[in-house]
Amino acid sequence: MSTDLQVTGSVRRARRARQRRTLAVCAGLLAAALAAFLLSLATGDKSIPLPDLLATLGGGGSRGDEFIVLELRLPRAVTAVGVGAAFGLAGAIFQSLLRNPLASPDVIGISAGASAAAVISIVLLGLSGPAVSLTALAGALTAAVLIYALAWRRGVTGYRLVLIGVGVASALTSTVSYVMTRSETMVAQQAFVWLAGSLNGRSWDQARPLLLALALLIPLTALAARALPALQLGDDTARGLGARTEPSRVALLLCAVALAGVATAAAGPVGFVAFVSAPIARGLLRRQDAALLPAALTGAVVVLLSDYIGQHLLGPHQIPVGVVTSVVGAPYLLWLLATANRVGRGG
Amino acid sequence: MGIRTETAAPSTRSRPLLAAGLVPAAAALVLAVAASLALGTAHIPLSSVWQALTAYDPGDTQQLIIREVRVPRTVIGVLTGVALGLAGAVMQAVARNPLADPGILGVNAGAALFVVVAINSLGLDTLSGYVWFGFAGALCAFALVYGVSSLGREGATPIKLALAGAATTAALGSITSAIILTSNNAFEQYRFWQVGALTRTEDGLLVQAAPFIAAGAACALLSGRWLNTLSLGDDTARALGQRVGAVRALAACAVVLLCGTATAIAGPIAFVGLVIPHIARAFTGPDYRWILPYSALLAPTLLLTADVVGRLIARPGELQVGIVTAVIGVPPFIALVRRRRTGAL
Amino acid sequence: MTVQHTLRADALRLTYDRHEVVKGLSLDIPPGKLTMIVGPNACGKSTLLRGLARLLTPASGAVLLDGASIHSRPTREVATTLGILPQTPVAPDGITVTDLVGRGRYPHQGWFRRWSDEDERAVAEALEATDVAELADRSVDELSGGQRQRVWIAMALAQGTDLLLLDEPTTYLDITHQVEVLDLLTDLNTSAGTTVVVVLHDLNLACRYADHLVAMRDGRIVAEGPPAEVVTEQVVSDVFGLRCTLVDDPVSGTPLIVPMGRHHSAK
């Protein structure tokens, strides 16, 4: 029996070590997000020193600072956090559920659905602002339903879903290209900025609905994610363990699509955050599970930092955040691929 | 699941049947070529078309249109079609991933970035000026993707190739966007270049491009037997006495020659490289010695058909071929994906 | 174990793509015994096992767990009673042994009860029983085939069910590991009273280890019972189409099949 106790002890130790690592990573990411958040609130045409900033946030700042921070910068930073977290979470769910690192909403056609709807509404219908966001959300959901329906044949396999998603994405992307050639330069440019994914001029009008949606979706995702560890073992094993595979999978996919959809509606299809957040989070955790919470935090950090870089560090033009996320995120992923021997396993 | 994995299309058809199948495929291509010459925005009687080809009279406007517009356009269609079809098949074999196509492995994005840089910073505005930048971009992007995925213990595994390709595509695409957003001139040229069309003909361009495509096509067609072995996995291929690295390098050469040139002359045309090998495979089974020639015939057929359709449905304007290929290529592709039982190439 | 659970198939028909694989068979799994299902390739033995584990919905007939249709009960509740190890389970990339084995505790964790000392003990016992405790922190995809198989069995053990179904758990294993796995299942059966059902390729090992042998061909049961009573030269010929001669296993006394093939004949 003593060996048994020993093993129990080592199992417990291993689990504790893992929990500690998760905790440390999450705390680190949270700290990084907070720092980036404060930095983006403090920086701009008028720099606001940290004590003033904190005072303003606490309700005791000067009137000018209050306007700048609370009305101009805070909604943008809050949107960045929300968008990053939503994309990170959505990507992590897709990738672990479909067991394919390529299966992020940008690759399997959900962002393309949002983009096509948004570009059509900008260019052909002349819409702007919240109306574009709504059509983008509708586009994302429609694309997701379409892809799932087309991939359904007595169940859905990850492989089929990804392939059909890529097909649908490419049809939608070419629609976008076509619409772009059919429009005035000015309008096309506006659409192009939207397509790149941008946080420019985000106000509470965009931030508030995003926060509301996330307040609903994140708890739902946490509930749905309970079956994820079982689902990752393949359908047979998962069912053997008593998971209701099809309802659980649909619930998770719905959550992920809704998350990607509201994020896209708020900021456009910010490239690559969904794709890269989970791999980065797993790299930090040094293990390969779904890593939902760390992925969400990573997404928030990536978007905050990228927006900061795009706004302040790249010369006179405001570069859309989506451009920066890809330029920053992609080399990191390449580096991960080049250094981590084991990433290439299975596939 | 105790189910056998390879239950895809008929995997063994007899050689004569496969060889005979090439005849209707070739006939379809000939028909597509004829349609591309005969049909267009302007109504031109068949007799003039025929005369333009056999007894050319430069004074006749209709004949002029045929010789100066439709013939080069058709030739570009055939060249890019062959290039994209073969490149797609080779990439799918090397990456052992049914999703591999020039778009996904970063080649298009590389070409696009270099073209935009050429337009923007060097002020180039003629196609023959920036075609070579497109070519160089394709080469660099593929070298980067391939280089990154070859690092590490197991070399360029399919999943690493796909991931590195997607990452590179995103990164280069974003740099392209950043440049475009800060320059009206580049934006104007780029938004038309990026849809992919067969209409960009300039003197000498085809003459310059054709040898590259011919060399690439030769590499690709010759590699069929090796790709068959490679598709069994690296270990098996090595056990069968294949030099895996050399085959991959040859395949990479073919892909860069084919995709780089095609993207440079026609812009990024999505989906042909992805869907054509799947269609070919549905008929031939998993034998690359047959998949490659079928792809080489079917891809230009699809491309020319799409181009003709684009000319006819949007009269008096045109729909660019890149758009039409996606729209008519997607439904059969989805049907194919749905029909197949399980994963694996 | 306090309660002996019963599992039976009643006129069970199972189909893949309208292709009938299991053709209306009835089978009582003897409780507390080690049952082995044998038969030639494609005879429907794996399909039957998946059907028994509710992974397939019957085209007609039923699988009854403790007398009630297994499909009418909440799947999580079933999972606390009946575990299945599929033939080719999928391990997520880079997952560690402890983590994988821990996932076997899924049916025991509720919305609010996430991870308990009991879970920890079950995982440790499973690691111990399958002799993989020293691999606990390793990543599953670094392991050898034999180690990996034992880890998967550990996961099934961690589920802590009274009924355990395994689909060819000895595939890819060398003879030593095959015997180890079967010894392990026998231990489990005798010490904890677990009802074990195994689909097995190796007829001789099945004869040696099974309390109850089920021989299948073409989706039907040809013979069942204790190996010593069931296995005759005629049955082997009927089921496998193989000419053979039988001798007594010098170690266990169970029937030992000596195949003949085309180049030899019985003396």
* Site of tokens 């003593």: A2
**Tell me, what's the pLDDT at A80?**
95
Distance from CA of C43 to the nearest CA of B (A): 11
Which of A6, A47, A32 lies closest to A294, judged by CA?
A: A32
| A85 or B45, higher pLDDT | A85
* Site of tokens 């068979």: C25
Token pair listed for A230: 């079982």
- Position B342 confidence tier, pLDDT thresholds 50, 70, 90: very low
Residue A336 pLDDT > 80, yes or no?
no
Measured CA to CA, the distance from residue B136 to residue B142 in angstroms comes to 10
Asked if B143 is an interface residue toward chain A (Cβ–Cβ < 8 A), one would say: no
Whole-number Cα distances in Å, C236 to B36, B132, C47, C232, C246: 68, 72, 21, 6, 10
Residue type, B236: T
Residue C156 pLDDT > 50, yes or no?
yes
Q: Set out the domains of chain B in order of their start, with CATH numbers.
A: 67-338 (1.10.3470.10)
Residue A301 pLDDT > 80, yes or no?
yes
The burial of B232, by beta-carbon neighbours within 10 Å (0-12 exposed, 13-18 middle, 19 or more buried), is given as middle
CB contact under 8 A, B171 and A196: no
CB-nearest partner of A181 from B144, B171, B192 = B192
CB-nearest partner of C159 from A12, A226, A241 = A241
Whole-number percent of chain A with pLDDT over 90? 26
Whether residue A83 contacts residue A259, with contact meaning beta carbons closer than 8 Å, is answered with no
Phi, psi (5° rounding) for residue C241? 65, 35
- Position C3 confidence tier, pLDDT thresholds 50, 70, 90: low
**Tell me, what's the pLDDT at C114?**
67
Q: Find the mean pLDDT for residues C199-211.
A: 92
Residue B142 pLDDT > 50, yes or no?
yes
**Tell me, what's the pLDDT at A59?**
82
Whether residue C196 contacts residue C189, with contact meaning beta carbons closer than 8 Å, is answered with yes
Residue B170 pLDDT > 90, yes or no?
no
Which of A212, A107, A221 lies closest to A169, judged by CA?
A: A107
| A269 or C196, higher pLDDT | C196
Residue C82, beta-bridge partner list: C163
Measured CA to CA, the distance from residue A302 to residue C120 in angstroms comes to 36
Residue B166 pLDDT > 50, yes or no?
yes
- Position B158 confidence tier, pLDDT thresholds 50, 70, 90: low
**Tell me, what's the pLDDT at A256?**
93
**Tell me, what's the pLDDT at B99?**
65
Measured CA to CA, the distance from residue C224 to residue C246 in angstroms comes to 18
> B119-135, pLDDT tens digit by residue?
777 776 666 677 778 77
Measured CA to CA, the distance from residue A320 to residue B177 in angstroms comes to 9
**Tell me, what's the pLDDT at B154?**
63
Using a CB-CB distance cutoff of 8 angstroms, which residues of chain C are in contact with residue A278?
Answer: none
Distance from CA of C179 to the nearest CA of A (A): 23
Residue A32 pLDDT > 90, yes or no?
yes
**Tell me, what's the pLDDT at A347?**
30
Measured CA to CA, the distance from residue B65 to residue B37 in angstroms comes to 10
What are the counts of helices (DSSP H) followed by strands (DSSP E) for chain C? Answer: 9, 12
CB contact under 8 A, A337 and B342: no
Token pair listed for A12: 């417990």
Whole-number percent of chain A with pLDDT over 70? 94
Q: Which residue of A has its CA nearest to B147?
A: A338
Residue type, C134: E
Measured CA to CA, the distance from residue C20 to residue C24 in angstroms comes to 9
| Three-state secondary structure readout of C80-96 | CCEEEECCCCCCCCCCE
Q: Find the mean pLDDT for residues A192-203.
A: 83
**Tell me, what's the pLDDT at A35?**
95
**Tell me, what's the pLDDT at B337?**
75
Whole-number percent of chain B with pLDDT over 90? 14
Of the CA atoms within 13 Å of residue C240, those in its CB half-sphere come to: 20
| Three-state secondary structure readout of chain A | CHHHHHHHHHHHHHHHHHHHHHHHHHHHHHHHHHHHHHHHHHCCCCCCCHHHHHHHHCCCCCHHHHHHHHHHHHHHHHHHHHHHHHHHHHHHHHHHHCCCCCCCCCCCCHHHHHHHHHHHHHHHCCCCCHHHHHHHHHHHHHHHHHHHHHHCCCCCCHHHHHHHHHHHHHHHHHHHHHHHHCCCHHHHHHHHHHHHCCCCCCCHHHHHHHHHHHHHHHHHHHHHHHHHHHHCCCHHHHHHCCCCHHHHHHHHHHHHHHHHHHHHHHHCCCCCHHHHHHHHHHHHHCCCCCCHHHHHHHHHHHHHHHHHHHHHHCCCCCCCHHHHHHHHHHHHHHHHHHHCHHHHCCC
Residue B58 pLDDT > 90, yes or no?
no
> B28-56, pLDDT tens digit by residue?
999 999 999 888 877 888 888 888 888 88
Which of C118, C184, C125 lies closest to C150, judged by CA?
A: C184
| A48 or A79, higher pLDDT | A79
Measured CA to CA, the distance from residue C62 to residue A142 in angstroms comes to 39
Measured CA to CA, the distance from residue C178 to residue C186 in angstroms comes to 12
CB-nearest partner of A167 from B177, B178, B330 = B330
Whether residue C99 contacts residue A289, with contact meaning beta carbons closer than 8 Å, is answered with yes
Token pair listed for A336: 């991960």
Distance from CA of C16 to the nearest CA of B (A): 10
Q: Set out the domains of chain A in order of their start, with CATH numbers.
A: 19-344 (1.10.3470.10)
**Tell me, what's the pLDDT at B345?**
30
> A202-247, pLDDT tens digit by residue?
888 888 989 999 999 999 999 999 888 888 888 888 988 988 888 8
> B5-31, pLDDT tens digit by residue?
333 344 456 778 888 888 999 999 999
Whether residue B99 contacts residue A166, with contact meaning beta carbons closer than 8 Å, is answered with yes
Residue C108 Cα to chain centre, angstroms: 22
Of the CA atoms within 13 Å of residue B299, those in its CB half-sphere come to: 35
Phi, psi (5° rounding) for residue B343? -70, -150
Residue A308 pLDDT > 80, yes or no?
yes
Least confident segment among A53-62, B38-47, B167-176, B192-201: B192-201
**Tell me, what's the pLDDT at C9?**
94
CB contact under 8 A, A342 and C141: yes
- Position B255 confidence tier, pLDDT thresholds 50, 70, 90: confident
Measured CA to CA, the distance from residue C45 to residue C213 in angstroms comes to 12
Which helix (H) or strand (E) covers residue B150, if one does?
Answer: helix B127-150
**Tell me, what's the pLDDT at B7?**
35
Residue type, A80: A
Distance from CA of A94 to the nearest CA of B (A): 15
Task: Say whether pTM exceeds 0.90.
Answer: no
Average predicted confidence (pLDDT) for chain A: 85
> C225-249, pLDDT tens digit by residue?
999 999 999 999 999 988 889 999 8
A 10 A CB-CB count for A314 gives 15
Distance from CA of C40 to the nearest CA of A (A): 23
- The structural domains of chain C, with segments of one domain joined by +, span 7-232
Residue A277 pLDDT > 80, yes or no?
yes
Average predicted confidence (pLDDT) for chain B: 79
For domain C7-232, give the fold.
Rossmann fold (3.40.50)
Least confident segment among A43-47, B16-20, B200-204, C126-130: B200-204
CB contacts < 8 Å between B and C, how many? 8
Q: Find the mean pLDDT for residues B247-251.
A: 85
Measured CA to CA, the distance from residue B249 to residue C140 in angstroms comes to 33
Q: What is the DSSP letter of A69?
A: I
* Site of tokens 């923007």: B120
**Tell me, what's the pLDDT at B1?**
30
Q: Find the mean pLDDT for residues C35-44.
A: 92
Using a CB-CB distance cutoff of 8 angstroms, which residues of chain A are in contact with residue C107?
Answer: 241-242
Measured CA to CA, the distance from residue B137 to residue B124 in angstroms comes to 15
Q: Find the mean pLDDT for residues A262-273.
A: 86
CB-nearest partner of A240 from C83, C100, C111 = C83
- Does the ipTM exceed 0.85? no
Whole-number Cα distances in Å, B30 to B27, B36, B192, C240: 5, 10, 29, 56
- Position C52 confidence tier, pLDDT thresholds 50, 70, 90: very high
**Tell me, what's the pLDDT at B105?**
75
Whole-number percent of chain C with pLDDT over 70? 96
Residue A71 pLDDT > 80, yes or no?
yes
Q: Which residue of A has its CA nearest to B328?
A: A171
Measured CA to CA, the distance from residue B74 to residue A20 in angstroms comes to 64
Residue C95 pLDDT > 60, yes or no?
yes
Whole-number Cα distances in Å, A303 to A205, A213, A217, B20, C39: 19, 18, 19, 56, 58
Q: Find the mean pLDDT for residues C105-133.
A: 82
Q: Which residue of B has its CA nearest to A175?
A: B323
**Greatest mean pLDDT range, B232-241, B257-266, C200-209:** C200-209
**Tell me, what's the pLDDT at B299?**
93
